[in-house]
Structure 1
Amino acid sequence: MTELQLQHTDVLIIGAGPSGSSAAALLRKKGYDVVILERQHFPRFSIGESLLPQCMVFLEEAGLLDTVREHVDEFAFQYKNGASFLRGKQRSFYDFREKFSAGPGTTWQVRRAPFDQLLANQAQTYGTDIRYGHEVIAVDVEAEQPVLTVRDEAENVYQIQGKFLLDASGFGRILPKFLDLESPSDFPVRRAVFTHIEDGILDDPEFDREKILITVHEKDHRAWYWLIPFADGRSSFGVVAEQSFFDHYGYTGTDTPEALESLFKMILQDDPALSHLLRRAQFDTPVRTLVGYSANVKHLAQKNYALLGNAGEFLDPVFSSGVTIALKSSSLAVPLVERALQGQAVDWLAEYEQPLRRGIQVFRAYVESWYSGEFQEVVFSSDQHVKLREMVSSLLAGYAWDMSNPIHKNAKRRLSMIAEYCREGLPQEQLLGG
């Protein structure tokens, strides 16, 4: 048997999405050799188009913000300053510029195909070796320096060793699968059905293209739609619910684009306000679906590898936290990787996993509260204290790691209390303490 060629680098990264590209950019700025192995070719379709303002901090830190800003007009990235909510005749919105936390209050809604490619291209400009069409087929982390076995599109197989390994493979979840790290999520199994549309929204005075629109299904508050406008009259459009919801509409298990489009249109017609808003919409892109996307792992890092972004944990698309968590994980991990490369001890649990999960747990509290209906009570409250609105706005803007925000401490309990006070019309000043 022919011995495989063994290559070497400082840091190996699996996946060229936002977490992989930002980690590579940060590492290259520090002078380390980086190889990214990406199974697909870019540009490629992906959902998660609604960025949060917190992302801007991490993009700037990695030296990636300017390249995105320079291409805003070319790719019709939509300026974004908040989130709008619709439930029957109830409407509400949050302006991210009016928030508790310091930091940017605006960002963009982006098509992920060009956005992800822009980040990857900039990482390449910084000197990252990105190998598209290269698939990881085996993983060995038992040695001090991990080794990956890789197959390219010409069926050539080689091995590459890095001093450290970062898994930024997103929903591919390469290390969790190879190393048996996957842990069941305690979220109910939900399905997302989604596409891009020509939205046909011309002059509706109640629609703001500068905000994502989240619509609660009138017949099942656990089901909701997203509408993420781009700057050229198109939008990302999706519906999320538990499987029983789709079964009610006659879902047969057939996931062809045609069957999914028929299902989606049927669900849309059941919401008068949203279907009126989209009465001119053209479904001109294949409809897709993801099911059971929530995921967790036994741990996020060990002595010679770490999981970034969705490779470690994905909650739910409802508050667009995916890219923010991905970029935060890279920002948090890279200084620790550098210390490890320099031979210093790193406590990955205390210095990476626990800090990262603190913010994720805040997002989790809001997601759980959304589906229970409590956070919906907050969102649609007509009499919310201005300071509480600013605190909630900070979370919706992605500032889940700002522990100075009073409602982040014991977030689940605080949200339940806020919902009760909003529902009962009680004075909210006493909820503002630390």
Structure 2
Amino acid sequence: MQYTDILIIGAGPSGSSAAALLRQKGYAVTIIEKQYFPRFTIGESLLPQSMVFLEEAGLLDCIKNHVDEYAFQFKNGAAFLKGQQRSFYDFTEKFSDGPGTTWQVRRAHFDHLLAKQAEQYGAEVRFGHEVIAVDVESKHPILTVKNEHAEQYQIQAKFLLDASGFGRILPKFLDLESPSNFPVRRAVFTHIEDGILDDPDFDREKILITVHEKDPRAWYWLIPFADGRASFGVVAEQNFFDHYQIDDTSPETLQATFARILADDPALSHVLRNKKFDTPVRTLVGYSANVKHLAGQNYALLGNAGEFLDPVFSSGVTIALKSSSLAVPLIERVIQGASVDWMKEYEQPLRKGIKVFRAYVESWYEGEFQDVVFSKNQNDKIRRMIASLLAGYAWDDQNPIHKNAKQRLSTLAEYCREGQSQTVVVGIK
């Protein structure tokens, strides 16, 4: 049996940031990571709120120092496109305090930088090691792990963190899975040479979210990097893809489907008229997930291992980093023998912000938030409040449209459609 203070499953952003925070407190940390880094993953458009958590974990400088090397793109907002309609939000002009800019990153490099920095802080990262059994019945949890040579060993810790993302190790082993209540959606995505040169209507410093002209339930992301390349994807329910007779048996057939979907959107096709598909196209189905609870007496779930909503507002990395920031002080108390109310001190605070993101995601697919985004009737105060939420400040309860977000978005959409002042909606004088 091997021993450590804290075991972490997964070396992505939540696992690496938790490891960095725990090493600052002097604890021995071991990360079990099934894959080898760098590895491809999506979720490339960071939100400014995440800069706060990266700095707290001592991980911000390692990103800043590699911005040019890895063509991380400076980001200051979000742009929206639907046919001839265009809109944008500048995150530097927001309601909440905190950073207003960030980067759009290739996650292969971004995640690898975080993991390497965690290692430099003294965490042990075991790449190519796979968790094959979990025991959380005793006071100190035990993992059974298979290494790259197919050899098995057991390792015990004072506390266990699941940062496995879509791997969702503890939810699967401990039967924690719970319905997300979101429709099953598919994402088809790749990296492209975008070919966008001197287009006055395109801003590389913003993610571009495009509503499909023929079906507003479908949308595209275009996340530019600083070297003329971009992450490009389309998201919709399965029946949308059925219309195109999607064939996901190979990257080539997926690319052909993707090209047909893009061709049905003249506005975005014009933006990407010089694009080149040069990277295998991938797909992910049914990615939204939830769990019965986020923590037990000797374990906690971080980031996507607990709940993943939808890629539309790029909330994944921010939620992951927030979860680490909330969990680590509580873990220290557990190790020191103090009692922790994980529901009150971890799950409820974390889900408070996730609930706000969820309201915006639901409102987007229902069309109400799309009406708000493309409305010409927003006053400056409303724009700043929306910019804050789009920038990731979902835990800022001083934002007037944070409370009862779902209801207030619905009312705001109604006023936008009617062309009336939104000031009365949120009680701003």
What's the TM-score once normalised by structure 1's chain length? 0.98
Aligned partner (choices 266, 271, 274) of residue 280 of structure 1: 274
Which residue in the other structure is 2:41 paired with?
46
Which residue number corresponds to residue 136 of structure 2? 141
Does 1:22 find its partner at 2:17?
A: yes
Check conservation: 1:255, 1:288, Cα contact below 8 A. Answer: no
Q: Is the 8 A contact 1:387 1:432 kept in 2?
A: no
CA–CA separation in structure 2 for the residues paired with 1:10 and 1:433: 49
**Structure-2 residue corresponding to 1:410:** 404
TM-score, L = length of structure 2: 0.99
Tell me the CA shift for residue 184 of structure 1: 1.2
Does the aligned pair in 1 maintain the 2:294–2:347 contact within 8 Å? yes
Cα distance in 1 for partners of 2:416, 2:59 equals: 41
Q: Does 1:208 align with 2:203?
A: yes
- The corresponding residue for 1:268 is 262
Partner-residue secondary structure (3-state), 2:277 = coil
- Which amino acid is the alignment partner of residue 245 of structure 1? F
Which of 2, 10, 17 aligns to 1:7? It is 2
1:233-252 matches, within 5 Å, as 233-252=228-247
**Does the 8 Å CA contact 2:378/2:421 hold for their aligned counterparts?**
no
2:318 pairs with 1:324 = yes
* Partner SS for 1:407: coil
Which of 377, 381, 388 is the equivalent residue of 1:383? 377
**In the alignment, which residue of structure 1 is the partner of 2:83?**
88
Provide the C-alpha distance between the structure 1 equivalents of 2:142 and 2:426, rounded to a whole number of angstroms.
51
Superposition pairs of residues 33-432 of structure 1, within 5 angstroms: 33-252=28-247, 254-432=248-426
- 2: distance between equivalents of 1:193 and 1:179? 30
Q: Is the Cα contact below 8 Å between 1:27 and 1:34 reproduced in 2?
A: yes
The answer on whether the counterparts of 2:377 and 2:421 sit within 8 Å (CA) in structure 1 is no
Do the aligned residues in 1 keep the contact of 2:187 with 2:283 (CA within 8 Å)?
yes
SS at match of 1:301: coil
| Residue segments in structure 1 that go unaligned for 5+ positions in a row | 1-5
Amino acid paired to 1:180: D
Displacement, 1:432? 3.2
Contact kept in structure 2, 1:200 and 1:233, CA below 8 Å: yes
* SS in structure 2 at match of 1:405: coil
What is the CA distance between 1:293 and its match in structure 2? 0.1
Please list the CA deviations of residues 102-131 of structure 1 after superposition, one character each: whole Å capped at 9, or x if unmatched.
000000000000000000000000000000
> How far did 1:231 drift?
0.1
The amino acid of 1:391's aligned partner reads M
CA distance in 1, matches of 2:250, 2:392: 34
- Maintained 8 Å contact 1:97/1:105: yes
- What displacement does 1:360 show? 0.1
Determine the C-alpha separation between the residues in 2 that align with 1:271 and 1:87: 9
Q: Deviations over 1:255-310 (max 9, x none)?
A: 31001000000000001011111111110000000000000000000110000000
State the alpha-carbon separation in 2 of the partners of residues 172 and 160 from structure 1: 20
Cα deviation, residue 400, structure 1: 0.3
Structure 2: 5+ residue stretches without partners: none
Number of residues of Structure 1 aligned to a counterpart in Structure 2: 428
Instruction: Note the alpha carbon deviations across 1:300-336, whole angstroms, 9 max, x for none.
Output: 0011000000000000000000000000000000000
Amino acid at match of 1:399: Y
Contact 1:52 1:107 in 2 (8 A): yes
Q: CA deviation at 1:398?
A: 0.1
In 2, Cα distance between the equivalents of 1:428 and 1:219?
A: 29
Root-mean-square deviation (CA), in Å?
0.6
Question: In structure 2, how many angstroms separate the alpha carbons of the residues matched to 1:157 and 1:180?
Answer: 23
Identical residues among aligned pairs (%)? 77
